[in-house]
Structures are given as structure tokens and as C-alpha cells.
């Protein structure tokens, strides 16, 4: 069976959630794909079943090492993940890759191309790749990425790699749900200063300068020195860890073992100080707040009376009869009973 998730196994209108949970915890990839499809669904009946599934599997939370990977376009994220993933599975790990794709703001469609970009890893029986459309979520991070991590952990995947689209705010969201945040950068393309301006460097637990092969090796060394200097004046994300800068070549396989050794060293350093679990507990609280915002927004815009009120307010704003800020206050007051 191909390791890439196939979403044709959509949940039915009457999913046996208990049976699905049992199948999923045996490592059944089809059950895992169905479970993810269930929690991604926006249908009311599926949402209730999805919450039930998450409750049944909540005891499995935290059983994986979660790594976020981002980088500028062309940095070679998918190539690096494909090569690194195969190294990890060869070492006995089970690897899940959650590749969050950009969705069209007009059609809602997504370019789910990671199945072809990670062809070798997709054929690995110890790997699971799930391309997931962001569905308009702020920053490009799928609405249910955090829950998908839990399902992968319940299915026995001990390493979860979350690839972001690399478009700004997605990095902040992913950094808040993983144990280690890896930033990939290119050398010689002006991306060094751009990356610093975005603030991505401040989120990084490690920076890897990619494509360190052939004639590019010199520029990579220069870029690595520049980033090392920049990191000295930044406050690291974790007090017990100084983010390293390394050079890697996914094409030639160089630097990938050093990369993974640093990921493991980071976890060991945080665990020694008791910071690893504290970080995860704080992430859970932040995720709760994010989900509250998501639920409130959903309830707001699906309330028929509120929808009618908002339509009138939109017209008033469009006709310049009311400032947007006043209209927003009036809408909020209407739905929450303050007016």
C-alpha cells in the first residue's frame, strides 16, 4: 500500500467512531486517513463525531517528537523532508508528514503536490504523508493541524514533521505547536536580510542553509556565518538552547545526520531543565485559546440572525453610512447580547 494518505475514504453520515478509533490505534493508515478527513470536515454531524474521536484518542497525545519545517520558496523543503524522512524510517522510526498547502481564496482549492515531491518517502511503509489544504486559515496553517498531529500519534507515528507553506504568519502558528522549529534558508539570493526582517529567525531552533553543494558551497558558508552573527544578538526561543546554523545538501545527503542530531540534542537540553513538558503545556493552553476564537467565529457567521444583521451592516459600510469600527462593535454587541 502506498504510504501517502488518500482522502477518498471519506467518513459516512453514520461513522462508527469507536471502531474507527480502534482501527486507527493499530496503525491502520486507511483508518488514519478517514479519521483526519472526519476532523477536517465542516459538516455539523462530522464535527460532533470528530470531537468524539479526539476524546477517545486524547490519551495518546504527546507521544511523538514534533518538528516544524519552513523556508523560503525554492529552499528545498520537500526534498529535504523526503531524504530526512527516509533516514529516520531506516533507523526504525515511523514518520508522519503533514504538508500544509495554500488554498485558493476564491475557490478553496489547494495545490496538493507533496505526493509527487516526496515520491520516495511516499512509498515507504513506515511513513504517512498527508497534504492538507489550509482552507483560508490565517497564516496558511490548516484549521485542524493540531488535531491531525494527535491522530498521527495515536496511530503510532513517533516523529511528526509539519511543513509550512512559508508565507509569513504560518511560521508563527506552526512554531506554537511543535517541539522544534527548523528554518531553511538559501544562500546568495538576498533572502538572509529578508528572513531577519520577517522575524522568522527569532522563532528558529536551528537554521539550515540548503543546497550546500557544487559551486554553491562558498556562498553557503558565507550565509551561515552571517546567520550565526545575527543569532548572537537575538533572544533564543528556549533559554536552554542556542540555535545552531548548519549547511545541508539534501541532494547529496550531507548534513542531514548533523541536522537530526541537533534536533535530539535540543530535546535532551530542554528535558534536562524541565522545559520540554512546560513548553508543551503552554502550547496546549495557547491552542485552546486559538480554538475558542475559531469556534466563536464559526458560531458568529453561521447564526442566521447575525448573518442578516451583518448583511445590513455591510451595506451601511459600503454606502459610507457607518464606519467599519462602529459596524463591527454593533455586530459583536448583537450576537453577544450587549445591545
Please check whether residue 121 is in contact with residue 127, taking contact to mean a CB–CB distance below 8 angstroms: yes
Whether 119 and 249 map to the same domain: the answer is: yes
Please, is 279 exposed, middle or buried when counting C-beta atoms within 10 Å of its C-beta (0-12, 13-18, 19+)? middle
Domain for residue 202, yes or no?
A: yes
Residue 193 placed within a domain: yes
Beta partners for residue 67, in sequence order: 161, 180
CA distance 83 to 87: 7
Residues 233 and 299 in one domain: no
Measured CA distances, 244 to 204, 224, 229 (Å): 9, 10, 11
Higher-pLDDT residue of 275 and 101 is: 275
**Is the pLDDT reported for residue 194 higher than 70?**
no
Q: Among the three residues 233, 253, 273, which one is the final residue of a domain in this structure? A: 273
Give the span between the Cα atoms of 157 and 127, in whole angstroms: 8
Please report the pLDDT score of residue 257 as a whole number: 95
Q: What is the pLDDT of residues 144-184, one digit of tens each?
A: 888 999 999 999 999 999 988 765 667 778 888 899 999 99
Do 100 and 212 share a structural domain? yes
Q: Do residue 149 and residue 206 come from a single domain? A: yes
Q: What is the pLDDT of residue 210?
A: 92
| pLDDT of res. 303 | 79
Segment of 63-67, 107-111, 328-332 carrying the highest mean pLDDT: 63-67
Decide if 95 is inside a domain: yes
51-104 pLDDT, tens digit each: 999 999 999 988 999 999 988 778 888 899 999 999 999 999 999 999 876 554
Which CATH number covers residue 316?
1.10.287
Which residues, in sequence order, are CB contacts of 172 under 8 Å at separation 6+? 139, 203
pLDDT given at position 106: 40
Q: Say yes or no to pLDDT of 203 above 80.
A: yes
CA 218 to chain centre: 32
What is the predicted pLDDT for the residue at 205? 93
Cell numbers that stand for 281 in this block: 503545556
- Of the candidate ranges 196-210, 247-261, 276-290, the one whose mean pLDDT is the lowest: 196-210
Q: Determine, yes or no, domain membership for 114.
A: yes
Same structural domain, 190 and 106: yes
pLDDT at res. 42: 78
- SS3 for 142-165 is CCCHHHHHHHHHHCCCCEEEEECC
* Higher pLDDT, residue 89 or 217: 89
Q: Name the pLDDT band for 7 (thresholds 50, 70, 90).
A: very low
pLDDT at residue 315 in the model: 94
Q: Which three cell numbers stand for residue 156?
A: 503510532
Q: Is 190 helix (H, G, I), strand (E, B) or coil?
A: coil
Q: Does 230 fall in a domain?
A: yes
Among 41, 55, 47, 42, residue whose Cα is nearest residue 7: 41
Q: What is the DSSP string of 317-339?
A: HHTTSS-HHHHHHHHHHHHTT--
Exposure b/e, 132-153, CB count within 10 A at least 16 = b = bbbbebebbbbbbbbbbbbbbb
In total, how many domains does the chain have? 2
pLDDT of amino acid 109:
41
Examine the pLDDT at 189 and tell me if it is beyond 60: no
Residue 141: the pLDDT is 60
- For residues 166 and 88, membership in a common domain is answered with yes
Give the CATH number, domain containing residue 259.
Answer: 3.40.50.300
Residue 137 binned pLDDT confidence (cut-offs 50, 70, 90): low
DSSP reduced 3-state for 308: helix
**Model confidence over 10-32: pLDDT tens digits?**
555 567 999 999 999 999 999 99
Q: Answer whether residue 197 is part of any domain.
A: yes
Instruction: Lowest mean pLDDT of 42-46, 96-100, 208-212, 253-257, name the range.
Output: 42-46
Strands, sheet with 65-71, edge to edge from the N-terminal-most edge strand? 127-133, 95-101, 159-163, 65-71, 180-185, 206-209, 245-247
Per the CB < 8 A criterion, the answer to whether 81 and 69 are in contact is: yes
Select the more confidently predicted residue: 15 or 267.
Answer: 267
What was the pLDDT predicted at 72? 76
pLDDT averaged over the chain?
A: 82
**Residues 324, 263: one domain?**
no
pLDDT of 8 reads 37
Choice between 152 and 113, residue whose per-residue pLDDT is larger: 152
Identify whether residues 294 and 205 lie together within a single domain.
no
- Segments forming the whole domain that contains residue 261: 60-273
Burial (CB < 10 A; 0-12, 13-18, 19+), residue 208, is buried
- At residue 336, does pLDDT exceed 80? no
Q: Is 207 found in the same domain as 108?
A: yes
- Same domain for 220 and 258, yes or no, is yes
Helices and strands (H, E) in the chain, number of each type? 15, 7
**Residue 149 placed within a domain:** yes
107 pLDDT higher than 50: no
Instruction: Please tell me whether residues 187 and 148 are part of one structural domain.
Output: yes
Regarding whether 288 and 268 lie in a shared domain, the answer is: no
* 139 domain residue, yes or no: yes
Point out the domain boundary residue: 232, 248, 273. Answer: 273
Asked if pLDDT for residue 314 goes beyond 50, the answer is: yes
- Asked whether the predicted pLDDT for residue 6 surpasses 70, the reply is no
Amino acid at each position: 500500500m502506498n504510504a501517502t494518505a488518500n482522502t477518498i475514504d471519506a467518513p459516512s453520515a453514520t461513522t462508527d467512531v469507536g471502531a474507527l478509533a480502534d482501527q486507527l490505534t493499530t496503525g491502520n493508515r486507511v483508518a488514519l486517513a478517514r479519521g483526519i478527513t472526519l476532523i477536517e470536515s465542516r459538516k455539523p454531524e462530522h464535527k460532533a463525531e470528530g470531537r468524539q474521536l479526539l476524546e477517545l484518542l486524547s490519551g495518546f497525545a504527546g507521544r511523538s517528537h514534533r518538528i516544524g519545517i519552513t523556508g523560503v520558496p525554492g529552499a528545498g523543503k520537500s526534498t529535504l523532508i523526503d531524504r530526512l524522512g527516509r533516514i529516520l524510517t531506516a533507523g526504525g522510526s515511523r514518520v508522519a508528514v503533514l504538508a500544509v498547502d495554500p488554498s485558493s481564496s476564491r475557490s478553496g482549492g489547494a495545490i496538493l503536490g507533496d505526493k509527487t515531491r516526496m515520491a520516495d518517502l511516499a512509498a515507504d511503509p513506515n511513513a504517512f504523508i498527508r497534504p492538507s489544504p489550509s482552507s483560508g486559515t490565517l497564516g496558511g496553517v490548516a484549521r485542524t493541524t493540531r488535531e491531525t498531529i494527535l491522530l498521527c500519534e495515536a496511530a503510532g507515528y513517533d516523529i511528526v514533521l509539519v511543513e509550512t507553506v512559508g508565507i509569513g504568519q504560518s511560521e508563527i502558528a506552526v512554531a506554537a505547536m511543535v517541539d522544534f522549529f527548523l528554518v531553511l534558508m538559501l544562500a546568495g539570493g538576498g533572502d538572509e536580510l529578508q528572513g531577519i526582517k520577517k522575524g522568522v529567525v527569532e522563532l528558529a531552533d536551528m537554521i539550515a542553509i540548503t543546497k550546500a553543494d557544487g559551486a554553491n558551497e562558498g556562498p553557503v558558508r558565507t550565509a551561515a556565518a552571517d546567520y550565526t552573527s545575527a543569532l548572537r544578538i537575538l533572544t533564543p526561543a528556549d533559554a536552554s538552547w542556542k540555535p545552531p546554523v548548519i549547511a545541508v545538501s539534501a541532494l547529496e545527503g550531507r548534513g542531514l545526520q548533523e541536522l537530526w542530531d541537533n534536533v535530539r540534542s535540543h530535546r535532551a537540553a530542554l528535558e534536562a531543565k524541565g522545559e520540554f513538558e512546560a513548553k508543551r503545556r503552554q502550547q496546549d493552553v495557547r491552542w485552546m485559546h486559538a480554538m475558542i476564537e475559531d469556534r466563536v467565529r464559526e458560531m458568529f457567521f453561521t447564526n442566521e440572525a447575525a448573518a442578516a444583521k451583518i448583511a445590513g451592516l455591510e451595506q451601511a459600510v459600503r454606502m459610507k453610512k457607518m464606519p467599519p469600527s462602529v459596524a463591527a462593535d454593533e455586530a459583536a454587541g448583537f450576537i453577544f447580547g450587549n445591545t
